[in-house]
Amino acid sequence: MMLASRRSVARIPRVSSIATMMTGRAIASSSSSSSSSYDRARCYSVVPSSCSSLDISPMAGRRERRRRLGRWQHPVIGLPSCISASPPSFSSSSTVSAAVEDVPDGEEDRAVVRRRRRGGIRNVAIVAHVDHGKTTLVDELLKVAASSVAAAAAAAANAGNPSPSSSLSSSVAGNSGNDAGGGGGGESKDSEGMRLMDCGDLEKERGITITSKVTRLDYYPPPNSNDCVRYVVNVVDTPGHADFAGEVDRILSTVDGVVLVVDAGEGPKSQTKYVLSRALSLGLKPIVVLNKADRAESLGRLESGRTELELMDLFGALGANDDQMEYRTLYGSARGGWITDDVDVALDVAQNGLVMDDGATRRASDMRGLLDAILEVIPAPSVHWYDDDEDEDDEEDVTAGEKGAEAFNDQPFSMTATTVGYDPYLGRTCTGRVYSGRATIGDGITLLHRRVAGDDSTSATTMGPSSQVTGIFANRGVSRAPLDPPIAVAGDIVTLSGVPDSTRVGDTLTSSGRMVPRPVDTPPLAPPTLSCLFGANNGPLSGREGTFVSSSHVRARLERETDNNVTLAVEKCESDAEKTVVYGRGELQIGILVEQMRREGYEMIITPPQILTTTCPRTGVKMEPYEEVVVDVDAEYSGTVVNALTGARKGVLVEMSDDSQGKTRMTFEVPSRGLLGFGPEIATATRGTAVMHHCYLEDREHAGAMSTGSERGKLVSNESGKATSFALDSLSSRGTLFVAPGDLVYPGMVVGENAKSGDLEVNPVRAKALTNMRTQSKEEKVHLPPPRRMNVEELIGYMSEDEVIEVTPLSVRLRKLELDAGARERAARTKKKQMDSLKLMAKGGGAKKK
């Protein structure tokens, strides 16, 4: 049964007390060095006191409620710098996932590009902040879709209709792999107790989504509905961490709507703002799911309507148009397997459970309600229609109704590459959305390289090699199955094998017989924020554990990573031919890449990260990236967080608010280099109670010299061998140890952190003297504290400028770049002399000015 339109929020909280904490302010930031300048403005209006007693009718529209409430704005959610306050110029009735190409003047092909909608299919992305439950929600959708296909097959068999049952048999077989643990409620987990869509080893270990994944669902609406035909729903699961935001950027061009999952107990966070801003800027139709509604911390926010008000203001601040503002809101629990469009039912289920005392089920439904909402709210895919008749009335564009798959037989085939890979049996593979025409096995395809941004010349399109399609596949769950029948039609999201080896993400594949005039445009990506140098392991223990140890192996692996990971960039180092420069988004992204390479048998070293700076083309001022940081912490540690970020790290406190549970939420604007190593440091200072999230904000003027606290003294080994308990016992009083007894060490390796400033040369392999004397004190048992073990991303922010990380398949070590102690001392003296000379020159220049 299709869901009715979202009911109005009848519970309006008393916001006058909250609004008094807000003051009007406007921040005009400097222009960045990118192609567009950033104008940041955040304005808050105080709610009149009379609004606290308004009795808003449930039938009032959302826009009317916002006008009568005086545009109350949550103190945490602000307007991001990259989004204009004016609403987009397009509406959902003309939603297109990629820009429609206009054929340049002078080209021989005068085909007119129009838009049509492909019926019977929906493409939707699940987007959310990290740990808000989107992957569990996708797993529940897999289960419900599988049960709907089985129910439709059983109904067709009981009715004695052989043709539907035969067509359903393939759907049942295809969807059998999607059933993550059978039908019914409960947790959506596989046999190992993990989320089904998080299939990678690192995703299972860390509990986060790292790569975007698309799965194809065959869904039959309930028999009592007016629509009993089969629908194909392509659902895309996206990462929620800011370091992997590029996965969200590239996948949004393949969908026509988004399901925004928000934790009902936390409300929108920094990554919620980012993914929603990207979706709204593309004109995508949103559906909001307030997840985890059955938790105790969600009840108060749902009863008062605070979470919904925060979302309403976030939509308005991000420039949502009128149609996007009328989004559908659902309440539910992905873990519990239920959802509803009535907040009263959600509160009843959260307080009393899904099953009543008499065994009956409350009005909340399973995830069919979300699938029905997707069919009703999300528009059918908008595809390209190439027509030679320029005089045809364009009023037929898009509004002509949905077309079946047969209508695209005579259209030229075009498809954008969203994900590329390699299969040892199939060769080069490409996953993406088909924008026009159709393709079958054996068809000839030609590669059109992505146009370079800023190149407006008509010859910007570069044609690549041609090949033949050898296979057409669809992703069902986490497995890839051949599409039956093997025909890819406009609107589908499929995987093709046999594509040219030079295919890259963003390129266009088109039919060789009838090519499209220009490649399909894809949205631009946010720039990287830091860089690291990767090189071959040149330490004393190199080659003992790894299989690929040369610099050429490391560089080749990094270049292969850029084929599919569009947010990474790799180039050869100009100053050192043996090293490779890697540009990325953050410490976590670099750490995940290093961990993947380590498990594949690579040995390498990584230098300290360098934040990327640019120069403003108008003013010539040096610019650096800034990030918005949101920290949730116990109120007693709020001062610790403020001092840590606003002191040496040169952050600015933007907003601060408390809740009834003793938590404080603070929003900062901090230079990206000020966040290096901040996560482990603040977790230790707040005893693990701080939860930090950050997202790229904009480029601003360089903040000058900064001390992030990483200039700590280190305990450096001056001998090689195995560390002994006797030696480590005496060193434990001098600082924190990084090694345990039996670990291999060598000269120049960092074995601990010095309690005092400055490095200290120590001998961790010293053994007890062998004599014939025996005393009670000599034979005392040694009690050592456990060593401090740090992973790669923690070490990236922890290491000093003269240190590198040595990574092998079995070990992660921190060592000095120069292993010789004498050479390090000479380099330190030289550096000190240079600094003294600079200080003298600065003093002399100041005296002359006076």
Provide DSSP, 359-374. S-B-S-B-THHHHHHH
Pair 402, 118: CB distance under 8 Å: yes
The amino acid sitting at 403 is: K
Here the CATH number for the domain that contains residue 619 is: 3.30.70.240
| Of 735, 792, 801, residue with least CA distance to 762 | 735
> Which DSSP state fits 100?
P
Give yes or no: residues 496 and 550 share one domain. no
Three-state SS for 345? helix
Give yes or no: residues 634 and 535 share one domain. no
Give yes or no: residues 506 and 559 share one domain. no
CA distance 702 to 699: 9
Got the DSSP string for 587-631?
HHHHHHHHHHHHHTTB-EEEPPPEE--EE-TTT--EEEEEEEEEE
pLDDT at position 458 is: 40
492 is a domain residue? yes
How far is C-alpha 807 from the geometric centre of its chain's CA atoms? Answer: 25
The pair of structure tokens assigned to 734 is: 């001098």
When pLDDT is cut at 50, 70 and 90, the band that residue 4 belongs to is very low
Helix, strand, coil percent values for the chain (each to nearest 5): 30, 25, 45
**Residue 6: which residues within 8 A CB-CB, separation 6 or more?**
326, 327, 328, 329, 341
Over residues 560-586, mean pLDDT: 87
For residue range 109-150, what is the model confidence (pLDDT) as tens digits? 445 678 888 888 999 988 888 777 777 888 888 888 887 877
pLDDT at position 688 is: 83
Give yes or no: residues 254 and 181 share one domain. yes
| Of 608, 540, 611, 610, residue with least CA distance to 805 | 608
pLDDT at position 540 is: 92
Question: C-alpha dihedral over 501, 200, 526, 623, to 10 degrees?
Answer: -120
Give yes or no: residues 306 and 343 share one domain. yes
pLDDT at position 388 is: 58
Asked if the model's pLDDT at residue 626 lies above 80, the reply is: yes
More confident residue, 121 or 211: 121
pLDDT at position 397 is: 47
Q: What domain range is 606 assigned to?
A: 530-611
Over residues 744-769, mean pLDDT: 90
When pLDDT is cut at 50, 70 and 90, the band that residue 743 belongs to is very high
When pLDDT is cut at 50, 70 and 90, the band that residue 3 belongs to is very low
CA distance 555 to 457: 33
Give yes or no: residues 259 and 178 share one domain. yes
pLDDT at position 195 is: 52
> Which DSSP state fits 4?
P
Of the listed ranges 58-62, 256-260, 404-408, 586-590, the least confidently predicted one is: 58-62
The pair of structure tokens assigned to 715 is: 């305990």
CA distance 197 to 192: 13
Of the listed ranges 130-134, 187-191, 306-310, the least confidently predicted one is: 187-191
CA distance 499 to 446: 9
Over residues 2-30, mean pLDDT: 35
763 is a domain residue? no
pLDDT at position 225 is: 56
**Residue 510: which residues within 8 A CB-CB, separation 6 or more?**
412, 413, 414, 415, 445, 446, 448, 516, 519
pLDDT at position 168 is: 47
The pair of structure tokens assigned to 575 is: 């100053």
802 is a domain residue? no
When pLDDT is cut at 50, 70 and 90, the band that residue 102 belongs to is very low
Give yes or no: residues 274 and 143 share one domain. yes
Give yes or no: residues 132 and 207 share one domain. yes
pLDDT at position 123 is: 92
CA distance 350 to 352: 6
What's the Rg (C-alpha) of the chain? 30
pLDDT at position 764 is: 93
790 is a domain residue? no
Over residues 788-806, mean pLDDT: 89
Could you give phi then psi for residue 67, rounded to 5 degrees? -65, -40
508-511 vs 414-416, strand pairing mode? antiparallel
Asked if the model's pLDDT at residue 496 lies above 60, the reply is: yes
Give yes or no: residues 241 and 283 share one domain. yes
In the chain, the number of structural domains is 5
Over residues 809-832, mean pLDDT: 88
Question: Could you give the count of Cα atoms lying within 13 Å of 375 in the half-sphere of its Cβ?
Answer: 29
The residue with tokens 């603070």 is 666
Asked if the model's pLDDT at residue 815 lies above 80, the reply is: yes
**What percent of the chain lies above the pLDDT cut of 70?**
74
327 is a domain residue? yes
Give yes or no: residues 360 and 493 share one domain. no
756 is a domain residue? no
Asked if the model's pLDDT at residue 443 lies above 60, the reply is: yes
Asked if the model's pLDDT at residue 393 lies above 60, the reply is: no
Asked if the model's pLDDT at residue 671 lies above 80, the reply is: yes
Got the DSSP string for 123-146?
EEEEEESTTSSHHHHHHHHHHHHH
| Of 591, 533, 584, residue with least CA distance to 794 | 591
pLDDT at position 160 is: 61
Asked if the model's pLDDT at residue 478 lies above 90, the reply is: no
Could you give phi then psi for residue 65, rounded to 5 degrees? -65, -40
For residue range 334-347, what is the model confidence (pLDDT) as tens digits? 888 888 888 888 88
CA distance 217 to 188: 16
Give yes or no: residues 423 and 557 share one domain. no
Question: Could you give the count of Cα atoms lying within 13 Å of 243 in the half-sphere of its Cβ?
Answer: 18
Most confident of the following: 73-82, 462-471, 593-602? 593-602
More confident residue, 99 or 127: 127
CA distance 331 to 344: 10
pLDDT at position 78 is: 35
Contacts of residues 462-466 at CB distance under 8 Å and 24 or more positions apart, as own/partner, are 464/500, 464/502, 464/503, 464/507, 465/500, 465/501, 465/502, 466/500, 466/512
807 is a domain residue? no
Here the CATH number for the domain that contains residue 604 is: 3.30.70.870
Over residues 206-231, mean pLDDT: 76
How far is C-alpha 733 from the geometric centre of its chain's CA atoms? Answer: 42
The pair of structure tokens assigned to 95 is: 């939603």
pLDDT at position 528 is: 84
For residue range 714-731, what is the model confidence (pLDDT) as tens digits? 999 999 999 999 899 989
pTM of the prediction? 0.73
In this structure, the number of other CB atoms found within 10 A of the CB of residue 697 comes to 23
Cis before 485? omega within 30? yes
Got the DSSP string for 456-524?
--TT---EEEEEE--EEEEEETTEEEE-SS-EEETT-EEEEES--TT--TT-EEEESSS--SSPPP---
pLDDT at position 226 is: 55
Inter-helix orientation angle 134-158/368-377, to 10°: 90
Over residues 650-662, mean pLDDT: 86
> Which DSSP state fits 355?
B
Here the CATH number for the domain that contains residue 140 is: 3.40.50.300
Inter-helix orientation angle 306-317/270-281, to 10°: 50
pLDDT at position 537 is: 92
pLDDT at position 779 is: 56
pLDDT at position 461 is: 62
Pair 675, 641: CB distance under 8 Å: no
- C-alpha distances (whole Å) from 209 to each of 180, 426, 530 are 17, 26, 22
Q: Which of 591, 611, 631 is the last residue of a domain?
A: 611
When pLDDT is cut at 50, 70 and 90, the band that residue 36 belongs to is very low
pLDDT at position 173 is: 47
The residue with tokens 């919904």 is 308
Three-state SS for 243? helix
The residue with tokens 């909340």 is 364
Got the DSSP string for 514-572?
S--SSPPP----PPP-EEEEEE---STTTTSS-SB-SHHHHHHHHHHHHHH-TT-EEEE
Give yes or no: residues 416 and 476 share one domain. yes
For residue range 316-375, what is the model confidence (pLDDT) as tens digits? 888 888 888 999 999 988 888 888 888 888 888 877 776 555 444 556 677 888 888 999
- C-alpha distances (whole Å) from 24 to each of 317, 654, 707 are 15, 12, 32
In DSSP terms, 813 is beta-bridged to 806
Run of H or E residues at 837: helix 821-849
Tell me the pLDDT of the chain averaged across its residues. 75
**What percent of the chain lies above the pLDDT cut of 90?**
20
**The total number of residues written for the chain in this structure:** 850
Over residues 798-819, mean pLDDT: 91
Q: Which of 611, 633, 654 is the last residue of a domain?
A: 611
Q: Which of 611, 629, 650 is the last residue of a domain?
A: 611
776-779-780 Cα angle (round to 5): 90
pLDDT at position 536 is: 93
521 is a domain residue? no
pLDDT at position 829 is: 85
In DSSP terms, 752 is beta-bridged to 715, 737
- C-alpha distances (whole Å) from 656 to each of 75, 418, 632 are 8, 40, 10
Of the listed ranges 198-207, 370-379, 833-842, the least confidently predicted one is: 198-207
When pLDDT is cut at 50, 70 and 90, the band that residue 770 belongs to is confident
pLDDT at position 24 is: 33
The pair of structure tokens assigned to 407 is: 């209508």
